[in-house]
Amino acid sequence: MRSETLIAAFVVGMMLCSTFMVYGIGPGVPDLEASVIGDDVLAEYSMPSSDHAYPGVILAVPVSRYRQDDIAVLMTGRNGIQDSDPSMVQGLVDHLSAELENIGSDSKVSMIEERYLSSYLGTGNGTLIIASALDPSLAQEVSEWVWNGGVLVSIGPLSIPFNGQDNLTIGYVPFDHDHAISEGSASEGPGLRMVAPPFGLLSSDVESCQGTVLGLTDDDQNVTTMAAIPYGQGAVLAMGGPIKEPFRASMEDVFAWDLARCLEAGLQWAVGPLSYEPLTVPSSGLHDTSTFKGEGEAMSIAIYSLDDAHSLFSCVRVSL
Amino acid sequence: MFVRAQDTIRNVLAPTPTVLKFLVVGLLVRLLLAPWTSFPYDTYPFYGAVVGSLAGTGPYGNVLFTYPPLFAVLITPLFMALSYFMDPSAFGTFVPSMIEVSRATGMLVPFVTSPMFNLVLKSPLILGDLLVGLTLFRTVDRWKGRAAGEKAFLIWFLNPLVIFISSVHGQFDVLAAYCTLLGALFFFDRRYILSGTLLGLGVLLKIYPVYIILVLLVALLIPLFRELREGRALRSLRPTMSFMFGGMVSLVAIIPFLLDSSSFLEYVFRRGTYSSVGGMNIWFISPLLSEFSGGEGGSEGGIPFGTILLITGFVLTLLISYFMLRKGADRKSLLLCCTMVLTVILLTQAVTNPQYLIWLFPFIVLMIEDHPRMLKKVYALSVLGLLYLFCLQSGFVFMYPMAQYIGWPSVTMLSQGIEAYFIGTSIARNIVLCSLGGAGFLVLLTVILPSHMDYLERAINGLKNWRGTDAK
């Protein structure tokens, strides 16, 4: 009888723990409001309390427009040195779906195979992620789709199918992460986590395409990990890559963490440099304001936590 | 009351002075190793489950943890308690200088968990080691006497591979092994509800106890079908229903996960169908073949190879169980059948890592008194398993917490050592791994061979005779 009691108590105890883990009270949500005061944008925000202080960031970026799309990830099945391994592309789908859900997004993520790409492009605007080389015969179709308003997220040197055509030429070189990042639980700046892609984008090429450098840059500011490039009515969010080991630096977990926050904040539509302020949220929470210089026709403001034990995010847009 | 509690503790932890002596030594070794060692690649998903739970997104929120949920449920309360005293951002450190070596081996994560995190993570595993040891002692004591029980405890609790897997590597196979062992023992004692519940809990930790469930179900269904065929009263129906009811009871532990979302099931089941093959099984040669074919492995399209092997495992389990238990299922034949099935699964599944040997050891230890040759299998497999773990990426890979938090040896030195070993030895490393995997396969094979065909036994006896002749 003692065994029965012990095991029943264990099962009930585990059920209570599971209930707490699934339905327990989360750490709260951040609150963010923005208003235009003269030439400036005033952001008023609050971050919830926690058992310990935690890091966060508030960032602002001028954007040309904003649109929230569902996301399609293309599976080409190709697996070369400059392609993302198919298992990692599948991993990106899982991680990105989870990260978007974690930050409260309504966007859905699906995977499409290369043979169905034409029919996907025919359904209208959306966000398409390509992480490997594409069948060259589809390049023109993708180019036209982006030009007419689609968003292409390209990961790695072979993932812009129309690179080198139509006034968009981006060069990729090996990314020297050694001096670009420092030790700690989160990287500096806006806290993006993809810090060591095998290849990065040449910043000069991004600028010559009227693009905006968003990611980490190497010591000489020549190579970056991420940039937004306007393309007709659409945009290319070009990321270094391909997706390769290890976790925490250049694998699907960090691509998903960055993409969820960047796409929700509308960084793919960036038309000017990022401004950001690092935050240290005390354990009692934080209620404060930040002022950013207004640029362009609209600005997107986002606030989020940077540590692993929080998944806080909020974003607003203001027209100038 | 205090005296009664003291007596209970003494009876549980120190049933004999010898057991107490082994227990203290084993615990000290484990507690000394646990904080300062880890296998970053395997620890990172556990860290992900912990911080995901603290963030309110759950253990699967960051998709790093892809095991069944019970281990996350077990450790989360411990880390929630720890997080009151320790900032979770101090649970681990991102170490950029490990990025290159991590990329080179593909089996490292540049993130090192802190000694306190390691100790809290490994404390349930150390407890699992202890519980399995004490269960083995009590069972063998009951079956074969005190001296045999003490020997069983010693063989398990001071086994270097058992110590290494729980206290250095930090893998939780021992918890599933404990549930499986207890589930089987309760079944032998005809306590079917408890047996079903414990085996169910085992499956909620790691999938493999499902094979033992199949064995025991076959043991219950054979007499039931016989009764049905012969038109007799269905006396076997009650044990079968009790066993299945017990299995359903175990699901209560994770019912909120089942009700909330099914996406975690997808991650968990995908684990079982990975296409990579190798380790201490019939596929031991595959790292070498992969090296010669330029590193391209796995199967794309069609039914994944892992799925085929999984189905094969189920079919083999049913066939072995039927042929071994069709004439009756007493304690000895059930024990033998469980050991057989686990061995066949280890021999044929896609990947057999050294930590999976922990599934088998408790059953082998129970058999040692009736089959003394099994002792040598435990020793041989322990040595081969340890060597395999050390040769995979070199032993340096387990020392990062010490390097990061004490400063000796330095992280750079460890990374250089691993790179030199991994890149410098290339084909030689794969030859060594294949040899160790092949040796492990051959030793595992002798577990299921009848004693007159046991080549390991014959080789050892031959060596003994030769040494005896030589000495004369």
> Are A197 and B108 spatial neighbours (Cβ–Cβ below 8 Å)?
no
Residue B43 structure tokens = 């620890």
List of chain A residues whose C-beta atoms are within 8 Å of the C-beta of residue B404: none
Minimal Cα distance from B74: which residue of A?
A: A14
pLDDT over 90 at B294, yes or no: no
Residues of A in contact with B257 (CB under 8 A): 18, 22
Is residue A183 over pLDDT 70? Answer: no
> In the prediction, which pLDDT does B299 show?
39
C-alpha to C-alpha distance for B131 and B414, rounded to whole angstroms: 34
Tell me, what's the pLDDT at A181? 66
Q: Which chain A residue is nearest to residue B275, measuring alpha carbons?
A: A87
CA distance to A81, A151, B73, B162, per residue, from B424 (Å): 21, 44, 42, 30
User: For all residues of chain A together, what is the average pLDDT?
Assistant: 92
Q: With an 8 Å Cβ cutoff, are B300 and A77 in contact?
A: yes
B427-467: pLDDT as tens digits: 888 899 999 999 999 999 999 999 999 999 999 999 888 88
ipTM over cut 0.90: yes
In angstroms, what separates the C-alpha of A275 from chain B's closest C-alpha?
25
Task: Report CB contact under 8 Å: B55, A308.
Answer: yes
CB A130 within 8 A of CB A74: yes
Q: Are strands B92-94 and B111-113 parallel, antiparallel or unpaired?
A: antiparallel
Question: Where would I find the beta strands (DSSP E) of A157-297?
Answer: 172-174, 199-202, 212-213, 223-224, 226-231, 234-239, 275-281, 286-293
The model's pLDDT over B246-257, given as tens digits with 9 standing for 90+, comes to 999 999 999 999
Locate the chain A residue with the closest alpha carbon to B404: A183
Domains defined for chain A, CATH in brackets:
27-61+275-319 (2.60.40.10), 67-269 (3.40.50)
CA of A102 vs chain B CAs: smallest distance (Å): 6
Nearest residue, CB atoms, A19 vs list B69, B249, B256 = B256
Residue of A18, A78, A310 to mutate for B, most B C-beta atoms under 10 A: A18
- Sequence-separated (6 or more) residues with CB below 8 Å from residue B113: B38, B40, B43, B44, B47, B91, B92, B121, B401
CB A224 within 8 A of CB A156: no
CA A314/CA B195 separation, integer angstroms: 49
Are B92 and A95 within 8 A, CB to CB?
Answer: no
Dihedral sign (CA A242, A248, A253, A254): negative
Residues of B in contact with A53 (CB under 8 A): 87
Highest average pLDDT, of A270-274, B181-185, B462-466, comes from B181-185
Nearest CA in chain B to A193: B94
Nearest CB to A26 within list B56, B72, B300: B56
- Enumerate the residues of chain B whose CB falls inside 8 A of the CB of residue A54: 89
